[in-house]
Amino acid sequence: MQSDATPPPVSKKMLWAGRIMSALPVLALLMSGVMKLLKPAAIVEGFEHLGYPESLALGLGIVELVSTVIYVIPRTAVLGAILLTGYLGGAIATHVRIGEQFIGPIVFGVLVWGGLYLRDARVRELIPLRK
């Protein structure tokens, strides 16, 4: 008999689907974070285009990398998803402010939470989908 504190196990198919779904934004966010630390010309131009000083790149890169690493660790994945949601919300707000399309950060947010939903039974208990 299963106790109330232990969520039901995740099937291997759901676990791997969740891992693959989570890997897409994780890889993109890790690359983006590293690029903000290295500050190649394209990043500097991007910050200028968005109306932000280049000096913010280091701090944003660190926040992006730390949030992504926290998301990758199973025990802290929910906190990481919350942090990434805030980070991606800021990206959406930035693009809205300058009148650009903002579908990319929305898709990443959906992938972050969708992947977590598939690989973590605790999240599925919090957000039950009806049959």
Percent of all residues in the chain with a pLDDT value above 90, rounded to a whole number: 84
Q: Is residue 84 part of a domain?
A: yes
Contacts of 127 (CB under 8 A, 6+ apart): 117
Q: pLDDT by residue (tens digit) across 68-94?
A: 999 999 999 999 999 999 999 999 999
Q: Is residue 17 part of a domain?
A: yes
Statement: residue 7 has pLDDT above 90: no
Q: Is residue 1 part of a domain?
A: no
Range of the domain at 65: 12-125
pTM of the model: 0.89
Q: How many CB atoms lie within 10 A of CB 36?
A: 23
Statement: residue 31 has pLDDT above 60: yes
DSSP letter (8 states) at residue 5: T
How many structural domains does the chain have? 1
Q: Is residue 130 part of a domain?
A: no
Token digits of residue 26: 């994780």
